[in-house]
Amino acid sequence: MTIFQLILVQVVAFILIVIGLRKLLYSHISTEKQRLQLMIDASNKKVEVLRGQIEEAKTEYDRKIAQAKADAQKLIADAQKEAEELKAKHFQETRRETDKMVKAAQAKTESMQREIHSMAARKGIHFSKAIIKQALTADCLGAAHDVMIEEISKQIVNVDLSQLREGIKEVEIVTTFPLEKERKEMLRQKLSSKLKMEVELTEKIDDSVIAGILIKLGSLILDGSLANKLRIAAEQLEKEHSA
- Spell out the per-residue pLDDT of the chain, length 243, in tens: 577 677 777 777 778 787 877 777 777 777 877 888 888 877 788 878 888 888 888 888 888 888 888 888 888 888 888 888 888 888 788 888 888 888 887 888 777 766 766 665 566 666 666 677 666 677 777 788 888 888 888 888 888 877 676 667 788 999 988 989 999 999 999 988 888 888 899 999 998 888 889 999 877 888 888 888 888 887 787 777 665
Q: What does residue 200 show for φ and ψ, rounded to 5 degrees?
A: -110, 145
pLDDT value, residue 163:
66
Bridge-based pairing of strands 200-205 and 170-175 is parallel
Residue by residue, DSSP assigns the chain as --HHHHHHHHHHHHHHHHHHHHHHHHHHHHHHHHHHHHHHHHHHHHHHHHHHHHHHHHHHHHHHHHHHHHHHHHHHHHHHHHHHHHHHHHHHHHHHHHHHHHHHHHHHHHHHHHHHHHHHHHHHHHHHHHHHHHHS-HHHHHHHHHHHHHHHHHHGGG---TTSPS---EEEEEESSPPPHHHHHHHHHHHHHHHTS--EEEEEE-GGG-SEEEEEETTEEEEEEHHHHHHHHHHHHHHHHH-
C-alpha distances (whole Å) from 135 to each of 60, 127, 140, 145, 188 are: 108, 12, 10, 15, 33
pLDDT value, residue 75:
84
Q: What is 136-242's CATH number?
A: 3.30.2320
Is 190 exposed, middle or buried (CB count within 10 Å of its CB: 0-12, 13-18, 19+)?
middle
Dihedral of CA 40/45/51/57: which sign? Answer: negative
pTM for the model: 0.48
Is 217 exposed, middle or buried (CB count within 10 Å of its CB: 0-12, 13-18, 19+)?
buried
Domain boundaries, the chain: 1-99, 136-242
